[in-house]
Amino acid sequence: MIKALLILFGAALLVLLIIVVEGRRELHFFRMRRYQLSVPKFKKLNSPKKVVLLADLHNKVYGEKNEELLEAVRKENPDLILIAGDMFVGKERMHYENAVEFIVQLPKVAPVYYSLGNHEQRLKVYPEKYGDSVFQGYKETLEKAGVCFLENEGTTCMLDELCVRISGLELPMSTYEKFKKHTVTPQDVRQCLGKADKGEYQILLAHNPAFFPAYKEWGADLTVSGHLHGGIIRIPGLGGVITPQFVLFPKYSGEMTVEGNQAIAVSRGLGTHTINLRFLNYAEVVVIDLIPY
Query: pLDDT tens digits, residue range 204-253?
Result: 999 999 999 999 999 999 999 999 999 988 998 889 998 877 889 999 99
Evaluate whether 97 touches 91 at the Cβ level (below 8 Å): no
| Helices 118-125/134-145 angle, 10° precision | 120
Distance between CA 262 and CA 260 in Å, rounded?
A: 6
- List beta partners, residue 225: 266
pLDDT of residue 26: 76
pLDDT in tens, 71-112: 999 999 999 999 999 999 988 777 899 999 999 999 999 999
pLDDT, average across residues 55-66: 95
Distance between CA 79 and CA 146 in Å, rounded?
A: 15
Single-letter amino acid code for the residue at 94: M
Is residue 204 within a helix (H) or strand (E), and if so which, with residue range?
strand 201-206
pLDDT, average across residues 183-200: 97
pLDDT, average across residues 247-261: 94
Confidence of residue 178 (pLDDT cuts 50, 70, 90): confident
pLDDT in tens, 39-49: 999 999 999 99
DSSP for residue 199: T
Residue, of 43 and 3, whose pLDDT is higher? 43
Evaluate whether 74 touches 109 at the Cβ level (below 8 Å): yes
Q: What are the sequence ranges of the domains in the chain?
A: 2-290
pLDDT at 8 over 70: no
Is residue 167 within a helix (H) or strand (E), and if so which, with residue range?
strand 162-169
User: Which architecture does CATH list for 2-290?
Assistant: 4-Layer Sandwich (3.60)
pLDDT of residue 179: 80
Distance between CA 104 and CA 145 in Å, rounded?
A: 5
- Mean pLDDT for the chain overall: 92
Percent of the chain having pLDDT more than 90?
76
Confidence of residue 14 (pLDDT cuts 50, 70, 90): low
